Structure 1
Amino acid sequence: MTTSVMFCYAHPDDETFLSAGLIRTLSDEGFPPALLLATSGDAGQKNGAYRDWTREKLGTLREQEMAAAAKILGIADSRFLRLPDGRLQETDEAWFVQQVAEAINQVQPSAVFTFPPDGGNGHQDHRAISRIVTKAVVEGHCSSVRQLYYVFSDSLAQEGRTPAVTIDTLPLWPIKADALRAHDSQIEAIKRYFGDLSDCLPERRYEAFALAWESGAWWPEISETRARASLGLPHPVIPEQSG
């Protein structure tokens, strides 16, 4: 079976923070996914040696860091819209939807992954790309897409939603840690989120994703076995209770 998956996020490193384990698993199964990033991350935190860099220089660096992380994770295709970092909500919506739809249609994925509506952490750029990707998919601008997944979040749990796919990153932690290290300009923020990257039992060990939309239906009931099969993933492994 052949499948095609595309991840649509706001900044370089979003893909590794939220879905490195899933991305690498897809690649290892023979289905390397594509990635669309709305910005180059030029307004990101400036850590250490990068503290005095201009936004233009930082954006160029973060695209280079993204290329290194993509190689580690097995991403087949990385592309940038290069929209203003931190100001995605100001972008003309119709034009933004068109740009996202064109990028998706060039890849022709059957499934698209993005942030939940609240962005997961309330970040305005995260909320904006979630809204635009959702409109592009559910309004019929991307004919190949049959499934839309949201990164699972506390807000989705509070709505009574449940993950369709959960990835235990522990077996893949050395790979995820290497991809995180590739985003060196953001390493201080990364370590605040994940802790010491050398730990063998990582903080935020699991990645989880909810199936928000499938073939015209919102929030369809789906087993993890069927969700994984539709994406080309191996059968689910029951997570350990500790960790």
Structure 2
Amino acid sequence: MSHKVGFIYAHPDDETFLSACLIRQLADSGEQPVLLLATKGDAGKKNGDVSHLTNEELGDLREQEMLQAASILGLAAVEQLGLPDGKLNSVDATDFLQGVIQFINQHQLKVIFSFPEDGGNFHPDHMAISRMAASAVLSGKCPSVQKMYYCVSNTLLEQGHQPSISVDTQPQWEMKARALMAHASQIFAIERYFGDLVSCPPNRRVEAFVLAWERGEWWPVKQEKSVLDDLL
């Protein structure tokens, strides 16, 4: 039986930066990971050959890049809310939340991943989608969800929360690098974070996730072998 696992992020490439190897492992084990993005990333920095594009053109390009990355990662579906990039704090919260709830229920997700409350790096869009993911889970309108994970951040670690699941990217680095390169319009930002992509940088080697919520309990302390552990 395949358990649906969903990743809920703000921009195209968030999924690859933070969870490429976990997504690929789930796909390779027969699961059907799916992705929801709040925006097209149309306000992203325009690097090199795409510096002349309008925001609308950049958004269209990033959608195509996302499809290429999704194929590499093994994502079963990618959906966009199409909200304004860089302005998630200003959109109608009711409609925003309903879009997330609809995605979760459409795919009957049992496990979801998103940013922690601090967005990982205090990016306002990251923080906004984190709030909406948590609000959807707590709304009582997504009964399929049994677990919610946050990507590890310095704030979570400082608060004493330790990863429940960690993935060593070294064995899958070639795959992750290809998925990163698929987001070619953002290559300057990617190289600032990961270097030249030839080898896995030691400080970016691990994808780590904290189990934030499980069937009504916040911050259960546990070490897991799989994000599918203990699902009902």
- Same topology, TM > 0.5: yes
Q: Secondary structure of the equivalent of 1:37?
A: strand
Q: Deviations over 1:83-120 (max 9, x none)?
A: 00000011121221111100111011100000000000
1:200 is displaced (CA, Å) by 5.1
Task: Specify the code of the residue in structure 2 equivalent to 1:176.
Answer: K
Aligned residues: 231
Q: For residue 3 of structure 1, what is the aligned residue in structure 2?
A: 3
Percent identity between the two aligned chains: 55
Which stretch shifts more, 147-156 or 216-225?
Answer: 216-225
Q: Secondary structure of the equivalent of 1:81?
A: strand
Q: Deviations over 1:30-69 (max 9, x none)?
A: 1130000000000001000111100000000000000000
1:3 is displaced (CA, Å) by 1.3
8 A contact 2:110–2:146 mirrored in 1: yes
CA shift in 2, pair 1:84/1:200, >3 Å:
closer
CA shift in 2, pair 1:230/1:78, >3 Å:
farther
Q: Secondary structure of the equivalent of 1:162?
A: coil
Gaps of 5+ in 2: none
Q: For residue 125 of structure 2, what is the aligned residue in structure 1?
A: 125
Q: Secondary structure of the equivalent of 1:225?
A: coil
- Counting only pairs closer than 5 Å after superposition, residues 86-105 of structure 1 correspond to structure 2 as 86-105=86-105
Q: For residue 212 of structure 2, what is the aligned residue in structure 1?
A: 212
Q: For residue 174 of structure 1, what is the aligned residue in structure 2?
A: 174
Task: Specify the code of the residue in structure 2 equivalent to 1:187.
Answer: I
1:157 and 2:157 matched:
yes
Give the distance between the partners of 2:200 and 2:9, measured in 1 at CA. 27
Which stretch shifts more, 19-28 or 218-227?
Answer: 218-227
Q: For residue 61 of structure 2, what is the aligned residue in structure 1?
A: 61
Task: Specify the code of the residue in structure 1 equivalent to 2:106.
Answer: Q
Task: Specify the code of the residue in structure 1 equivalent to 2:161.
Answer: R
Return the TM-score normalized by structure 1.
Answer: 0.92
Give the distance between the partners of 2:123 and 2:170, measured in 1 at CA. 27
Which stretch shifts more, 99-108 or 59-68?
Answer: 99-108
Return the TM-score normalized by structure 2.
Answer: 0.96
- Counting only pairs closer than 5 Å after superposition, residues 1-243 of structure 1 correspond to structure 2 as 1-199=1-199, 203-225=203-225, 227=227, 229-230=229-230
Gaps of 5+ in 1: 232-243
Would you identify which runs of 4 or more consecutive aligned residues in structure 1 move more than 4 Å?
A: 200-203
Q: CA RMSD in A?
A: 1.3
8 A contact 1:4–1:33 mirrored in 2: yes
Q: Secondary structure of the equivalent of 1:66?
A: helix
Which stretch shifts more, 9-18 or 213-222?
Answer: 213-222
Q: Deviations over 1:134-193 (max 9, x none)?
A: 000122121110101000110000100010100000000000000000000000100000
